[in-house]
Chains A and B, each alone.
Chain A
Amino acid sequence: MSGMTMSQKILAKHAGLSHVEAGQLIEAELDLVLGNDITSPVAIGEMKKFTKGGVFDKDKIALVPDHFVPNKDIKSAENCKCVREFAIKNKITNYFEVGQMGIEHALLPEKGLTVPGDLIIGADSHTCTYGALGAFSTGIGSTDMAAGMATGKAWFKVPSAIKFNIVGTPSKWVSGKDVILHIIGMIGVDGALYKSMEFVGEGIKNLTMDDRFTIANMAIEAGGKNGIFPVDDIAIEYLKEHAPGKSYDVFEADADAEYDAEYTIDLSTLKSTVAFPHLPENAHTFDNIDEIKVDQVVIGSCTNGRIDDLRCAAKVLEGRHIAEGMRCIIIPATQKIYLQAMEEGLLRTFIEAGAIVSTPTCGPCLGGYMGVLASGEKCVSTTNRNFVGRMGAIDSEIYLASPAVAAASAVTGKLSQPSELGL
């Protein structure tokens, strides 16, 4: 019997088993079931078909309208109304209305709803974000969400894992986004298909919580089932602030756990990395790129809309102005981050630089609203997907990058790194 990975231990515990093996089919108890304004209406429709009515636990469901919110059109408004009425009828504790809401994967950790050892499913592919705090969290669809809300259970095929041994200290301007774009460039968009991505090693201490959220968030872009980090002092500090008094279980991988592959990532060797159209695996550093003129920059999303990201963008934009003809859209991911950015003076920096600042929304990341691209336009974005047509016209182009690169590109009007501004 081989040892278990972090992910396997969490699944075993929630299935009431002492041991699980990769490939095993299990049924497990859920700690949290999440949905948003796109996926929840479909799930709520499915809920009506269950012979046993109601939800399994009103405190273990989170409903976060964030994609097309504040409502972008009548159909979106009807979807939000459907979610709101369901939340009220079922007395859902963690329903977040406009004014309290934020982008779900930034909001739930901030509210202390995702803690180490939890088993979380969410009808949003970036649910894997919470692995940054040592939880097993994974994206599912609306029918799985409905079944989860009704029964508090879900079936899983126990994943095998890839181990990423993180070492070294990143250089200035290199952040979590560069780490994960580098990794996806290395293993490809299906490099971790059906697998866990487990990030360990002494270099973890040189990654902030916001770096880790960004890295875990994009595990899905390598096809991963989940991404997960060990719980260290930095994570414990985060939990003290955001989930005070809440108990949790910390799991470490067994020394003899088996992995399908192991990679060492030396943070000190990484450079600012950009994923070119139209796949997150098209990773480039600035050593080998031609001049690319940019029409729009977006800084935000569940990937990079946190306070570290905004501080980084502000450092680049401070005392500078965006290029003529450039549109720079900055979206704090939650109300709390928005307020913090205001108190720290970041919003003033952004507005004086010629950027706009929006209320929290997923909006432009998926071509919803608040920054849809016209034909032929190019956007440098801190979001997570650069698929064909993702942010607008099918012949528009998205370059995925860190907040530092996005902000520098907004200033120069072309794909740039901060060093081009003498930073």
Chain B
Amino acid sequence: MKAAKGTVFRYGDNVDTDVIIPARYLNSTDPKDLAAHCMEDIDKEFVNKVQAGDIIVADKNFGCGSSREHAPIAIKAAGVSCVIAKSFARIFYRNSINIGLPIIECEDAPDNISAGDVVSIDFDTGVITDETTGKTFKGQAFPPFMQKIIDSEGLVNYINSKE
């Protein structure tokens, strides 16, 4: 897997999929439409500031609530290269892997990373580096089965490759 590097947007606990992409925009399935409203109800400035490759860092239970796959789709289409959190809600976790949005669980990193820091992630080793402070953290590696889905760039390709 590739590495990711970008500037950090920092959020707290229980960022739910309703604030990631409010239901009033769920009448669309177009990733560009969804990206235009990504994080709108928690951070109105996000869509104006986000650059390709940027990283979201959050505390526990990121992506809780609705199963809407529109949430990771919006984040990915907004250009975010990775989401780091202390823990993820399980449907969001599955959805992210299934659509090829890199996410990584790490208990220590969020407490030591600030908004605006430049952070890089090596997905092969799970090492997260805060290049602004020089600190490094070890994220949780994916089980081999999930790694195969990610390496196939999503569940559909993985299933096609098995047939």
Known interface pairs A52-B163, A190-B87, A387-B65; A147-B22 also in contact (CB < 8 Å): no
Q: B68 an interface residue at 8 Å Cβ cutoff?
A: yes
Question: Which residues 11-58 of A have a CB within 8 angstroms of B?
Answer: 25, 38-39, 41-42, 45-46, 49-52
- Among the listed stretches B25-33, B49-57, B75-83, B122-130, which one makes contact with chain A, having 4 or more residues with CB under 8 Å of it? B25-33
| A143-B98, A388-B42 known; A42-B159 Cβ under 8 A | no
Is B23 in contact with A125, judged by CB distance below 8 angstroms? no
| Stretch among A72-80, A167-175, A232-240, A408-416 lining the B interface | A72-80
Interface size of A by CB at 8 A reads 50
State which of B1-9, B11-19, B110-118, B131-139 sits at the interface with chain A: B11-19
Chain B residues within an 8 Å CB radius of A68: 26-27
Q: Is the CB–CB distance between A367 and B91 below 8 Å?
A: no
A189 in complex: contacting residue of B24, B27, B61, CB < 8 Å:
B61
By beta carbon, the residue of chain B nearest A394 is: B41
A367 touches B23 (CB 8 A): yes
Contact with A193, one of B22, B66, B89 (Cβ below 8 angstroms): B89
Contact A139 B29 (CB under 8 A): no
Complex Cα gap A143–B156 (Å): 7
> B94 near A: Cβ within 8 Å?
yes
Q: Which chain B residues lie closer than 8 Å to A73 at the CB level?
A: 27
Q: Is A279 in contact with B90, judged by CB distance below 8 angstroms? A: no
Question: B29 to chain A: which residues have CB within 8 Å?
Answer: 41-42, 45, 79
B156 near A194: Cβ-Cβ < 8 Å: no
Contact of A141 with B19 in the complex, beta carbons under 8 Å: no
Q: Complex Cα distance A214/B10, Å?
A: 35
Complex contacts, A51 vs chain B, CB 8 Å:
160, 163
Alpha-carbon separation in the docked complex, A123 to B94 (Å)? 12
Whether a CB of chain B sits under 8 angstroms from the CB of A151 is yes
Q: Does the CB pair B90–A367 fall under 8 Å?
A: no
Interface membership of B36, Cβ < 8 A: no
Which residues on the A side are within 8 Å of B163 (C-beta)? 51-52
Which of A76, A225, A385 has the most C-beta atoms of chain B within 10 angstroms of its own C-beta? A385
B155 at interface by CB-CB < 8 Å: yes
A142 and B69 within 8 A (CB): yes
Q: In this assembly, does A368 line the interface, its C-beta being within 8 Å of a C-beta of chain B? A: yes
Q: Which residue of A lies closest to B156 (CB)?
A: A49
Q: Give A279 to B16 CA distance when docked, in angstroms.
A: 10
The verdict on B64 contacting chain A, using a C-beta distance below 8 Å, is yes
Q: Could you say which residues of chain B place their CB within 8 Å of the CB of A139?
A: 67, 91
A279 & B69 in contact (Cβ 8 Å cutoff): no
Known: A225-B90, A388-B18. A143 touches B99 (CB 8 A): yes
Bound together, the chains give a CA A46 to CA B156 distance in angstroms of 7
A279–B14 alpha-carbon span in the complex (Å): 9
CB of A220 to closest CB in B, whole Å: 8
Q: How far is the CA of A75 from the CA of B145 in the complex (A)?
A: 37
Confirm or deny: B154 has a beta carbon within 8 angstroms of a beta carbon on chain A. Answer: yes
On whether A25 and B143 interact (CB within 8 A), knowing A143-B154, A387-B19, the answer reads yes
Determine which of A25, A76, A125 lies in contact with B66 in the assembled complex, contact meaning CB atoms within 8 Å: A125
Q: Which of B57-109 contact A (CB under 8 A)?
A: 60-61, 64-70, 72-73, 87, 89-91, 94-95, 98-99
Q: Nearest chain B CB to A300's CB is how many angstroms away?
A: 16
Measured in the bound complex, the distance between the Cα atoms of B93 and A155 in whole Å is 13
Closest residue of chain A to B145 (Cβ to Cβ) is: A25
- Contact A39-B69, Cβ < 8 Å, known A45-B29, A141-B91, A146-B156: yes
**Interface residues of A, Cβ cutoff 8 Å to B:** 25, 38-39, 41-42, 45-46, 49-52, 67-68, 72-73, 75-76, 79, 123-125, 127, 139-144, 146-147, 150-151, 155, 189-190, 193-194, 220, 223, 225, 279, 366-368, 385, 387-390, 394
Given A68-B27, A189-B14, A388-B42, 7 more pairs with CB closer than 8 A? A42-B73, A140-B67, A155-B145, A193-B89, A223-B90, A385-B65, A389-B22
